[in-house]
Structure 1
């Protein structure tokens, strides 16, 4: 073939791809966009945000459109190449469009079966008449069916390409191979803007590829092959630069959002839902009565990683102000990662959507492989979610994709643990046995309970067909209780999510064992909080109240290095412990000295024992209340303040983060919190109301659902009330007004410095 032949990719491929992209982008934007998230109206917030930051909305829209355009250029060019190699150089636009649409429909079906929760809003809140199609797919097909067809198409295309190279060995065939390699590289890396730039050069160059010497194509192919190998080779090289140091074992804090204690070892029809964690209990110390300090993710992690109560460091909800966040990692509140840094440790955080707290404060991590959270990211997510044909590519249903929009990592309906496991493995490959810590935080158990295929089928009713078949969001404004069948389905979703996390945990332990890291590692398994699942009148969710065992009682399992762990008579501890105990335990293990005082205690002295020698009490408080509507029992016990959509502000100078900045609201939130102290036998709850302070005292062993209030006549009432006041006054510097606790404000604390 001579240099005068027509361009391999005529300009009409660009035109067809562009029109195809514009048509379907606008189609889905018009017919698949709403101002609700799983039935909860967020219209006022979005209108306010879009009005104030319309430029940001335009830029994020351009971002999503650009990804769609690159993917369509990718597909149209590949389909056209296949016809070109068969000698059909004049293929009509509708034939090309048919094949691209066919491929996208296959990818969509694969994604629907793999992650039906991502499409829950479309099928259950916008177009419920289409739900039967989703039921059919998940009941009668598997992702592998569609992977097989897609793989066959790709294999067929590659066979045609290799045949072309074998028969002709000309510049055109080698150029086509380079084109496919470049597209694969861009697709797996997600650099779509580079891809668009590549296509611009491709269409502009016309037939210039004929001027390149055929030997140069060989060099280019070798170069591309080496680029494919770079990540793996780089990890191997970095691993060779690290070595183990005596007395500095790798540390792994493994956690799942909303993992309840009672789910560990729980059996359904004789089958345990946590087989991997059950095996791990044999190698670890198990703390059976462990509690979180606050059942909300951000403040709970702040407490665990600083060893201090939220009432001390002031991060008390999910939307702290800048002044409050800056206290985390400060000289007054150093994190455990910062303390370990002094010993030569590198620290990493890995997690899915609820791990968006880690980039939002200075927790001391050297690298955070987790999503962020702000209004700009929410806008990208909402725009991308409307594009049904785009979602499969954004979530990796199309051959190792899923890297195009990092904002999609924060999608709450995407409970696939495979992507964060890959990030965890990459750290292990790089670091080996050297001094480092990894905090791994899975969100699959957090509502809306979204385990990927096949886990969402594990413990749910296959004959249930309703809006809770695949997921269940919390709507704080809805006080109605699901019927018996729906409640069973929701609990089945939760159990399936627990089972999915257990599989993630098993993968982690297997990886550590295969690399010879497990025996000498410190491994801590815990959770940030639990979850209420319609026990008694407790509703669904966490952080709204402190009744029952479900929301604060979480697992704690600690495995110490084999070489430093003396044989102890008992590995099960039944005394009460708190999440603020983990910090002093680690600094005790490493012999780190500090002048700071901690509300928690090191657990090392009690290893091998079964209980405390003296009675111990632990503290907890509620989170911010998300809604001022509803008829739940706990909403009747509240000092009311506006719902979360009215309280927060979008702060552009802080990368459009969502914060509650008004000091009056912040002080109201702190003043209104329910608080509790509990020991092994009793729990006292402090509830401020407009009519006065209400106290509730419950027998934890005889009345775990907290249905019979023993206050004020029980002998333990006065002692526990005194303990609660002493705890809050000591760690918050609070004052008393009658029976009300008046929290210290951040402004007062700053004025005294």
Structure 2
């Protein structure tokens, strides 16, 4: 065979692939486009955004289409190659297409069983008549069934390829091997644009493969195998470049979004839903009455990592303005990570979709392995979600993919913890026994409660077939309480998500023990906030009100290094603690001078005790209200402002982040917040309304659901009201207008600085 031989991949394959890709891309775009996020219609918001930034939408479309095109080029080329080896080069287009459809259908079934929540809107909002098919798959199959069939097809192809190499050992065989290795490398790395460039060269110059010497093919194959090993080698090389700080304990802050305190060691059917956390508790100090300062993710983490209240640093909600975000990490609001860096630590943040807060402010991490959140990314997600044949590859449920579109990391319905566990392990390999800290944040428990297979089946009713079978859609405007069967299913999903996080946590602890890190590590287990699950009239969700124990009360367990001489006979503390206590506790442990006043207290002095020697109060406030409609009690007890979609703006110069920048709205949000102080026995809630300020006082022990208001006749009423006002005036520099608390604006603070 001479150098003028016909190309191994004729242009006919490219034409078939292009037509196939365009047809299915447009088909799914027309019939499966959604402007719904977790059940909330954001169509008007996206239309406004797309009108102003059409170029971004166009680039998004090109991006998603390019991934789809590369994947189809890969599949069609491999199927054509198989036929070529079987001496059938002129195969009809429909036969090749049938194979691709079969493979993608099997991959789709595998993905639907693994992550049915990703397809929930398709089956329950757009085409509910197809839902029985999803029920059948999840009830009667497992991902392993489809992996077996797909694996069998791949094994068949590999067998044919190696048979060709073994019997022929010609340039055509080695060229085919190089092609397969290149596609595998691009697939695992997600570099689809390089893949498309590769195919351009392949169809343009592929006929010249006979001109390459056999030894050159051997060298190319060797280099490709070496590149497969590069990530592991790179971790080792990068570890050599780090400054070595020996003898300092690694610090791990491990948190789960929405993890309630009462779910720890909670038993269902005689089985604890947190077996790994239960074992960890035996090695830790357990703080049983621990509370977050604000039950919304961004401000809660800002409080925890700066040790200051949201009313001080001004990140009060999920959508802070640029001026507010810039205060995080400033000299007045240094974070734990920045302070640890002063003594030689490197810091990492790892997380799934709710961890999108970490790239959006200067928390002081050296590396953030977490998704971002902005309108551009949201557009990529909506576009990609419409392509059913593409989703299995984007979510990595099909043979180690999942790296094509980093934007998919932020999918709220993708509750798979294995991908962030892998990132955690890569950090451990890279850091070894250096001084480093990792903040690990799992989102599987956050609504819409989306544990992957098999966890979503663990504590749910197998005979329930309704819209909450796999996830809880959220609509802040809907105040209808689900019926008893639906409520039980929703709570079952939540418990299953807790169980899934516990498995993640167990993997983390196992990895730390395996690498000899566990004994000398500081490990903090906590949560950013809890969750209401239709207790009394409390509804479902977090951040809307402060009634009950479910929303602010979260776990706190701290394991100190074995060599730290902090072991005490008693490991359980029942006094009230706050998330702002974690900052001074770590500063105290490392002997780092803070030089500022902090609202929290170091927990080191009380280790071994069961309670405070003096009465202690902790503070909390609500988040932003997402809707101005509905019939919830907290929507009647509030100063109204427009719904969240009306408040938003997309800021192009801030990477298309979604923010609330209007200072009047921001001050209204701050003024309207419900606030509380509580001690071990009582909780006082401050509720500003247009008609005046309401106060509610509850006995936490006798009335944990906060149903009987004791204000104003109880002896604790005046004392706690005075404490609340003093706290807010001290830390927010607020003023009083009658009984209303008037927050200081950011402008006033900047003028005073």
TM-score range (shorter-chain normalised) is: over 0.9
1:607–1:39 distance in 2 versus 1, CA, 3 Å: closer
How far residue 245 of structure 1 moved from its aligned partner, in angstroms, is 4.3
**1:247 shift after superposition:** 4.7
| 1:562 matched to 2:562 | yes
CA contact (8 A) 1:38 1:125 kept: no
Residues 180-210 of structure 1 show CA distances to partners (whole Å, capped at 9, x for unaligned) of 0000000000000000000000000131110
Name the structure 1 match of 2:226: 226
2:713 counterpart residue number: 713
For 1:154-553, what aligned pairs fall within 5 Å after superposition? 154-239=154-239, 245=245, 247-553=247-553
> Structure 2 vs 1, CA of residues 35 and 233 (structure 1 numbering), >3 Å: closer, same or farther?
closer
Shift of 1:102: 0.2
Contact 1:242 1:432 in 2 (8 A): no
Tell me, what secondary structure is at the counterpart of 2:101? helix
2:700 paired residue number: 700
Match of 1:65 in 2: 65
Q: 1:265 touches 1:272 (CA, 8 Å); kept in 2?
A: yes
Alpha-carbon spacing, 1:649–1:241, altered in 2? closer, same or farther (3 Å): closer
SS at match of 1:696: strand
Query: Secondary structure, in 3 states, of the residue corresponding to 1:687?
Result: strand
Partner of 2:611: 611
Contact 2:38 2:412 in 1 (8 A): no
Contact 2:560 2:566 in 1 (8 A): no
Q: Deviations over 1:519-571 (max 9, x none)?
A: 00000000000000000000000000000000000000000000113330200
Q: Which residue of 2 aligns with 1:79?
A: 79
Shift, 1:241, TM fit: 6.1
Q: Look up the match of 1:49.
A: 49
Q: 1:13, 1:273 → 2: CA distance?
A: 52
Structure 2: distance between partners of 1:449 and 1:674: 26
TM-score w.r.t. length of structure 2: 0.99
Distance 1:39 1:288 in 2: 35
| TM superposition shift of 1:308 | 0.1
SS at 1:445's partner residue? coil
1:723-742 aligned at under 5 Å gives the runs: 723-742=723-742
Contact 1:306 1:335 in 2 (8 A): yes
| Mapped contact 2:190–2:405 kept (Cα < 8 A) | yes
1:94-105 to 2 correspondences below 5 Å: 94-105=94-105
- Is the CA contact (8 Å cut-off) linking 1:456 and 1:496 kept in structure 2? yes
Q: Name the CA distance, whole Å, in 1 between partners of 2:582 and 2:140.
A: 46
* SS at structure 1 position matched to 2:88: coil
Q: Is the 8 A contact 1:14 1:73 kept in 2?
A: yes
Measure, in 2, the Cα distance between the counterparts of 1:264 and 1:130.
37
Q: CA deviation at 1:3?
A: 2.6
Q: 1:38 to 1:368 in 2, by over 3 A?
A: closer
Structure 2 equivalent of residue 132 of structure 1? 132
Structure 1 position 473, deviation (Å) = 2.5
Q: What are structure 2's unaligned runs of at least 5 residues?
A: none
- Are residues 553 and 36 of structure 1, via their aligned partners in 2, closer, same or farther at CA, if it must alter by over 3 Å? same
| Structure 1 residue 752 displacement after superposition | 1.6
Contact 1:249 1:561 in 2 (8 A): yes
Residue in structure 2 matched with residue 642 of structure 1 by the alignment: 642
8 Å Cα contact 1:242-1:433 kept in structure 2: no
Other-structure match for 1:40: 40
1:235 deviation in Å?
A: 2.0
Task: Tell me how far apart the structure 2 counterparts of residues 599 and 6 of structure 1 sit (CA, whole Å).
Answer: 76
Give 1:44 deviation, angstroms. 1.1
Cα distance per residue 1:347-369 (max 9 Å; x no partner): 00000000000000000000000
1:565-624 deviation per Cα after TM superposition (whole angstroms, max 9, x unaligned): 333020000000000000000000000012111000000000011000001000000000
The alignment partner of 1:528 has SS state of coil
For residues 653 and 237 of structure 2, what CA distance do their matches in structure 1 show? 39
What is the match of residue 15 of structure 2?
15
Q: Encode CA deviations 1:393-433: one digit per residue, 9 max, x unaligned.
A: 00012200000000000000000000000000000000011
Aligned partner of residue 400 in structure 1, secondary structure:
coil
Structure 2 SS opposite 1:254: strand
**CA distance in structure 2 between the partners assigned to 1:678 and 1:367 by the alignment:** 37
Q: CA–CA distance in 2 between the matches of 1:579 and 1:40?
A: 30
CA contact (8 A) 2:245 2:344 kept: no
Give, in whole Å, the separation in 1 of the partners of 2:207 and 2:669.
Answer: 67
Equivalent-residue separation in structure 2 for 1:251 and 1:748 (angstroms): 37
Could you tell me how far 1:654 is from its partner in structure 2?
A: 0.5
2:39–2:473 Cα contact (<8 Å) kept: no
SS in 1 for 2:516: coil
Q: Whole-Å Cα distance in 1 between the matches of residues 645 and 691 of structure 2?
A: 27
SS at 1:166 equivalent: helix
CA separation in 2, counterparts of 1:26 and 1:648?
Answer: 31
Q: Structure 2 CA distance, aligned partners of 1:208 and 1:226?
A: 25
Distance 1:658 1:242, change over 3 A: closer
CA distance in structure 1 between the partners assigned to 2:565 and 2:192 by the alignment: 50
Cα distance in 2 between the residues matched to 1:160 and 1:645:
56
Shift of 1:243: 8.7
Matched residue, 1:680 = 680
Post-superposition offset of 1:34: 2.9
- Answer yes or no: is the 8 Å Cα contact 1:291–1:553 preserved in 2: yes
TM-score, normalising length: structure 1: 0.99
Q: What SS class does the counterpart of residue 509 from structure 1 fall into?
A: helix
Contact 1:571 1:608 in 2 (8 A): yes
> Quick check: 2:370–2:409 contact (8 Å CA) kept in 1?
yes
Q: Secondary structure at the match of 2:464?
A: coil
Count residues in correspondence.
753
1:707-752 deviation digits (Å, cap 9, x = unpaired) = 0000000000000000000000000000000000000000111112
- 1:659 equivalent in structure 2: 659
1:469-526 superposed Cα distances (whole Å, 9 cap, x missing partner): 0000221100100000000000000000000000000000000000000000000000
Give the match's secondary structure for 2:518: coil
